[in-house]
Chains A and B, each alone.
Chain A
Amino acid sequence: MGYKITKKENLSAIDFFMEVEAPHIARSWKVGQFVVLIPDEKGERVPMSVYYADDGRIGMFLRRHGITTFKLWYEFDVGDEILSITGPLGKPIDVKYYGNVVFVSDAVCAQAESYATLKAMKEVGNYTIAIQTFENAANVYPEKYLAKPVADEHYLTTEDGSVGIKGHYLDVLKELIEKDKVDIVFGGGKLGSLKKLAELTRPYGIPTIVTVRQIMVDGTGMCGSCRVLYDGEIKFACRDGPMMDAHKIDWDDAIKRNARFAEQEKIARERYLAKLREKGVI
């Protein structure tokens, strides 16, 4: 048992790409759905967006965040097996003709989704626009991993202006909206930006569907860890999402809940980094 890693590549100063053999998931995955993986016996279950599902394999972008993603980066190579990968989870998004479709992204999971979503949207005839934001030049992905090939218009921005347009996707999107060419916005990434995104598109009445990233355990609706307030009701991000109407989410609560284990995560991360230093790996 186990699932073989078939490709692995560094993407930037903080993110990397990994492909895992998972035919059971690849055959049924649809845009908008995610997977949950566990590196090893002592590992935790972590949700991941899917960059592509192809030929029995799942491609993912991972950020070196904490213990799990560090482990995957430092201890697992092509040919090694991870303990578990489950999916596809969550609800697919409605892939159909909308007109001008924009995908905005400013963090790892959303960069993967940007490519996957726009590819599907372009196939059904939409005009596709990608706005991909990175913190700085060191974090920008190699060209082949950007959403460029599937976007009719592609904007790359860095928050410090070191590459591409200086600014955030919010700035570029605002201009596009003012030019009157946005029928629907999809997006994901930092929750704080998503809150601002919701506020930006709301007055224009532009439908805005985004990944509601929450801390998950099972990912199937069994534990209630990922609960959010949606239109005044409790919903589970894993089961009822993860892509949901940004205008209906209580973002302040969602942001707070996603920081629940900050103290524990720090302990785990520090301990792991100390171990790596001891071994001379870093």
Chain B
Amino acid sequence: MARAKPKLIKERVPTPEVPVEERVRSFVEVNLGYDFASALKEAERCIQCPPEYAPCIKGCPVHINIPGFIRALRENPDNPDEAVKNALRVIWNDNTLPAVTGRVCPQEEQCEAPCVMGKVGEPINIGKLERFVADYARKHGIEEALLREFMGGNGGMKGKVAVVGSGPAGLTCAGELAKMGYKVTIFEALHKPGGVLIYGIPEFRLPKEILEKEIAKLRELGVEIKLDYIVGKTVTLEELLEEYDAVFIGTGAGTPKLLNIPGILLDRIYTANEFLTRINLMKAYLFPEYDEPIAIGKKTIVIGAGNTAMDAARSALRLGTEVTIAYRRGREDMTARIEEIQHAEEEGVKFEFFVNPVEFIGDENGKVKAVKFEKMRPLDERDSRGKRKIVGTGEYITLEADTVIIAIGLEPNRIISEEATGLKTNSDGTLVVDENLMTSIPGVFAGGDAIRGEATVILAMGDGKKAAKAIHNYIQAKKANA
């Protein structure tokens, strides 16, 4: 007799969100995530593809055992603590910041894109399940117990490693090395750790409290974090190499690209980095309760279409201005996560496509009052990244704006490469590394945006992890030969 096939549930179990009217004036987190019952329901939809085949695993840049953690979650329906602990153990094997990645990864392009369930209905909501596991574990004190399990450490006796930068790449590299038994010190230029996660991504997407807890876990693992320390200025790379067995550079891509067009120095034209740093790191949205000011008008134009542009646009909206995102390509070429684009639309951000800024126009006080754009036309040809090529039409439009935020991209800063002469860079400032992520200086490794230009949180973490293994091999080989 044929066994009854389990019924496929085509629709996702939704996650609740803060209503639009409530959230557009506040920085509270928009998505509220699953509770255990709804997470279980969503987990039940997974058909448990065998791990050697599971397309979701292949789609994940760090190959989290997704069917494995989903199975663990559903195996103990009556004991949520146990279920979450087992699921978290599976995730931590590959990713120690699930509360972050569950919130900011572009799942729709990674694990969820090839999910088999996506062929018959909606793919499994992997991101929200990952986030649920992390959030539940944090709230119920499950992480501490698991952390002890993961500590194979021997009090830093294996060697000493310096990590430069406390973004996702640096944090991951430091965590992995600490777990292996290394003494790790992170050097961070800013006064708070986290990299883009602290100064770039707003509270309504990634609450600071969650990030702080993630970083506290590292400190528990014995990682020391030296803030206000700029490698290349406060201390040189050479000095670090004298004191440490190896160095990991995870300095990210923090230098904003500017538009080289007339009017760029006008008042109230911000780079997204300045705007977001004032708001996120310095809490300018709470001015004058906090001292950091921000000046903003009634009509804001954000130039760009990535996550940075969405974050800037939605932050500006919350400060009480009208916002239009202006992009030189079309809707389908926007690089931001779908969820962020949808949230931006729901919240009332407007979009102008196929417009390329050519001039900022100022008023008599030197403040911006409008932006002149050339209208662009898409061609059938595609460029190397698969985006449709565009050409100028020679037609222009002018849009009024009393605030402009430029979010057209970032490149790596050259603080270290300018100081450490032996460190090779590519023309765009990214560091040259070999297949083990070692730079041109022996014992110095690098990863994340510092080698990729702009990438993603999970890719930076993947690099951090890969570098940690390579650093371990390097130090042990050196010690064996000594």
Q: A-side interface residues toward B, CB under 8 Å?
A: 1, 24-25, 28, 38, 42-45, 67-68, 71, 83-89, 217-218, 220-225, 227-229, 234, 239, 250, 253, 256-257, 260-261, 263-265, 267-268, 271
Task: Decide: B277 and A218 in contact? CB cutoff 8 A.
Answer: yes
Query: From residue 273 to 326 of chain B, which have CB atoms closer than 8 A to chain A?
Result: 273-274, 277-278, 282-283, 287-295
Q: Which of A86, A89, A261 contacts B191 (CB 8 A)?
A: A86
Task: Decide: B233 and A88 in contact? CB cutoff 8 A.
Answer: yes
Q: Which of B227, B258, B288, B413 contacts A222 (CB 8 A)?
A: B413
| Chain A residues with CB under 8 A of B273 | 222-224
- Subset of 15 A-B contacts with CB under 8 Å: A42-B289, A45-B191, A217-B277, A218-B189, A220-B415, A221-B255, A222-B255, A224-B256, A224-B273, A234-B258, A234-B260, A256-B366, A261-B295, A263-B295, A268-B291
| 5 smallest beta-carbon distances between A and B, as pairs | A264-B293, A224-B271, A84-B191, A223-B274, A86-B228
For the complex, what is the distance from the CA of A78 to the CA of B191, rounded to whole Å? 22
Task: Decide: A221 and B271 in contact? CB cutoff 8 A.
Answer: no
Main secondary structure of the interface of A (DSSP, over half): mixed
Task: Decide: A42 and B290 in contact? CB cutoff 8 A.
Answer: yes
Q: Mark B241-276, 1 if CB is under 8 A from A, else 0.
A: 000000000000011101010001101101101100
Given contacts A28-B236, A223-B274, 18 further A-B contacts (CB under 8 A): A44-B282, A44-B293, A84-B191, A84-B227, A86-B234, A87-B233, A88-B233, A218-B190, A218-B277, A220-B230, A224-B273, A228-B265, A250-B265, A257-B267, A260-B268, A261-B293, A263-B295, A268-B291
Task: Decide: B287 and A268 in contact? CB cutoff 8 A.
Answer: yes
For the complex, what is the distance from the CA of A246 to the CA of B184, rounded to whole Å? 44
| Nearest CB of A to B207, in Å | 17
| Chain B residues with CB under 8 A of A271 | 288
Task: Decide: A256 and B267 in contact? CB cutoff 8 A.
Answer: yes
Task: Decide: B282 and A260 in contact? CB cutoff 8 A.
Answer: no
Contacts A38-B191, A224-B258, A271-B288 given; indicate if A88 touches B413 (C-beta within 8 A): no
For the complex, what is the distance from the CA of A227 to the CA of B271, rounded to whole Å? 10
| Chain B residues with CB under 8 A of A83 | 191
For the complex, what is the distance from the CA of A224 to the CA of B233, rounded to whole Å? 19
| Chain B residues with CB under 8 A of A38 | 191
For A261, give the chain B residue with the smallest CB separation: B293
Q: Which of B265, B283, B295 contacts A229 (CB 8 A)?
A: B265
| Chain B residues with CB under 8 A of A217 | 274, 277-278, 282
| Nearest CB of B to A41, in Å | 9
| Chain A residues with CB under 8 A of B8 | none
| Nearest CB of B to A244, in Å | 15
| Chain A residues with CB under 8 A of B290 | 42, 44
Task: Decide: A44 and B291 in contact? CB cutoff 8 A.
Answer: yes
Contacts A84-B228, A261-B295 given; indicate if A222 touches B191 (C-beta within 8 A): no
| Chain A residues with CB under 8 A of B474 | none
For the complex, what is the distance from the CA of A252 to the CA of B433, rounded to whole Å? 44
Q: Does B229 contact A (CB under 8 A)?
A: yes
Q: Which of A67, A86, A256 contacts B230 (CB 8 A)?
A: A86
| Nearest CB of A to B28, in Å | 20
Task: Decide: A223 and B295 in contact? CB cutoff 8 A.
Answer: no
For the complex, what is the distance from the CA of A223 to the CA of B276, rounded to whole Å? 9
Task: Decide: B271 and A89 in contact? CB cutoff 8 A.
Answer: no
Task: Decide: A268 and B277 in contact? CB cutoff 8 A.
Answer: no
Task: Decide: A260 and B274 in contact? CB cutoff 8 A.
Answer: no
Q: Does B235 contact A (CB under 8 A)?
A: yes
Contacts A217-B277, A268-B288 given; indicate if A24 touches B256 (C-beta within 8 A): no
| Chain A residues with CB under 8 A of B277 | 217-218, 222-223
| Nearest CB of A to B404, in Å | 12
Q: Mark B221-239, 1 if CB is under 8 A from A, else 0.
A: 0000011111001111000
| Nearest CB of A to B115, in Å | 37
Task: Decide: A43 and B274 in contact? CB cutoff 8 A.
Answer: no
Query: From residue 154 to 212 of chain B, which have CB atoms closer than 8 A to chain A?
Result: 189-191
For B267, give the chain A residue with the smallest CB separation: A260
| Nearest CB of A to B287, in Å | 7
For the complex, what is the distance from the CA of A239 to the CA of B290, rounded to whole Å? 26
| Chain A residues with CB under 8 A of B268 | 260
Q: Which of A42, A89, A234 contacts B233 (CB 8 A)?
A: A89
| Chain B residues with CB under 8 A of A229 | 265
For B234, give the chain A residue with the smallest CB separation: A24
| Chain A residues with CB under 8 A of B235 | 24, 28
| Chain B residues with CB under 8 A of A42 | 283, 289-291
| Chain B residues with CB under 8 A of A224 | 256, 258, 270-271, 273-274
Contacts A42-B290, A88-B233, A234-B264 given; indicate if A222 touches B282 (C-beta within 8 A): no
Contacts A84-B227, A86-B228, A264-B295 given; indicate if A223 touches B267 (C-beta within 8 A): no
